[in-house]
Amino acid sequence: MKKLILLALVSTFAMSGFINETDNKAVEAAKENARLCEIFKEKVQTYESTMRNDGLAEATLISYKKRMSSYCDASSVKSDEVKVETEKTVETAKAEIKTSDKAEENARLCNVFTDKVQTYEPTMRNDDLAKATLASYKKRMSTFCAVSSVRS
């Protein structure tokens, strides 16, 4: 008789935590979506105020807005932000990058990797990893400098 009562108590205790498990997961998912919604609202506001004027920056903004929209809709939080432009996809925004924008970016990257080579080479360690890093910097520097042919 004691074993039967003990078995009933143990089984009741064991089952009590699993009944609300699906409800707990739904609540946690809603909290996570609300958190991500707020993060992407902030990202959109910050990025809109500081973004460049080219197609790649616009594609990034569209991506942020899509993620904001999906998380805000999933968490049942109303968004007061501008709705995502659905007709303009990331692919079309990337296609709008002009040749002059590419040349400016290549010139900027040429400057960046030239500076990296100049600062890294005198202070680098004498091991294989450091040599590989320097070789990578030099390769990228030569690639971007050859394409841009402009050194600011």
Overall average pLDDT of the 97-111 stretch: 75
Asked if residue 61 and residue 35 are part of one domain, the reply reads yes
User: What end-to-end distance do the CA atoms of the chain give, in Å?
Assistant: 90
Is the distance from CB of 18 to CB of 49 less than 8 angstroms?
no
Confidence of residue 95 (pLDDT cuts 50, 70, 90): low
More confident residue, 17 or 125: 125
What is the pLDDT, as a whole number, of residue 109? 86
Confidence of residue 76 (pLDDT cuts 50, 70, 90): very low
Residue 11 lies in a domain: no
What is the pLDDT, as a whole number, of residue 93? 55
Report the amino acid identity of residue 24: N
DSSP letter for 1, please: -
% the chain with pLDDT above 70: 71
Residue 7 lies in a domain: no
Residue 36 lies in a domain: yes
Confidence of residue 86 (pLDDT cuts 50, 70, 90): very low
Confidence of residue 99 (pLDDT cuts 50, 70, 90): low
Is the distance from CB of 89 to CB of 61 less than 8 angstroms?
no
- For the chain, give the number of residues: 152
What is the pLDDT, as a whole number, of residue 114? 92
Give the end of a domain, one of 71, 95, 119: 95
What is the pLDDT, as a whole number, of residue 8? 79
Confidence of residue 15 (pLDDT cuts 50, 70, 90): low
Q: How many domains does the chain have?
A: 2
Asked if residue 120 and residue 91 are part of one domain, the reply reads no
Asked if residue 130 and residue 79 are part of one domain, the reply reads no
Residue 3 lies in a domain: no
Alpha helices in 51-127 (DSSP H): 55-74, 90-95, 99-123
What's the predicted TM-score (pTM) here? 0.39
Average pLDDT, the chain: 76
Asked if residue 91 and residue 109 are part of one domain, the reply reads no
Asked if residue 28 and residue 83 are part of one domain, the reply reads yes
What is the residue range of 88's domain? 20-95
Asked if residue 141 and residue 91 are part of one domain, the reply reads no
Question: Chain-centre distance of CA 39, in angstroms?
Answer: 11
